[in-house]
Amino acid sequence: MSTPHLFALTPGEPAGIGPDLCLLLAREAQPHPLVAVASRDLLAQRAALLGLDIDLQDVAPGHWPSAAAPAGTLYVWDTPLAAPVEPGKLNQANATYVLETLTRAGQGCLDGHFAGMITAPVHKGVINEAGIAFSGHTEFLADLTHTAQVVMMLATRGLRVALVTTHLPLRQIADAITANRLERVTRILHADLRDKFGLANPRILVCGLNPHAGEGGHLGHEEIDVIEPTLERLRTEGMQLIGPLPADTLFTPKHLEHCDAVLAMYHDQGLPVLKYKGFGAAVNVTLGLPIIRTSVDHGTALDLAGTGRIDSGSLQVALETAYQMAEAGTGAR
Alpha-carbon distance of 270 to 280, in angstroms, equals 17
Between CA 231 and CA 240 the distance in angstroms is 9
In the sheet that holds 116-119, the strands lie side by side as 55-58, 73-78, 34-38, 7-10, 116-119, 293-296, 282-287, 151-156, 159-163, 261-264, 203-207, 240-245
Q: What are the helix and strand counts (H, E) for the chain? A: 13, 12
Pairing of strands 203-207, 240-245: parallel
> Is residue 212 marked as binding?
yes
For residues 197, 199, 205 and 206, what is the CA-based torsion angle, rounded to 10 degrees? Answer: 60
Q: Is 201 annotated as a binding residue?
A: no
Residue 138 in marked binding region? yes
Distances (CA, A) of 203 to 224, 244, 272, 291: 22, 13, 21, 23
CB atoms within 10 A of CB 238: 8
| 94 annotated binding-site participant | no
Q: How far apart are CA 182 and CA 173, in angstroms?
A: 12
113 marked among binding-site residues: no
DSSP 3-state assignment of 129? helix
How far apart CA 165 and CA 163 sit, in angstroms, is: 5
Q: Is 294 annotated as a binding residue?
A: no
| DSSP annotation string for 42-67 | HHHHHHHHHT---EEEE-BTTB--SS
Question: Is residue 156 helix, strand or coil?
Answer: strand
Residue 236 buriedness (CB in 10 A; 0-12 / 13-18 / 19+): exposed
Distance, in Å, from the CA atom of 308 to the CA atom of 62, rounded to the nearest integer, reads: 34
Binding-site entries for substrate = 137-138, 275, 284, 293
Binding-site entries = 137-138, 167, 212, 267, 275, 284, 293
Binding-site entries for a divalent metal cation = 167, 212, 267
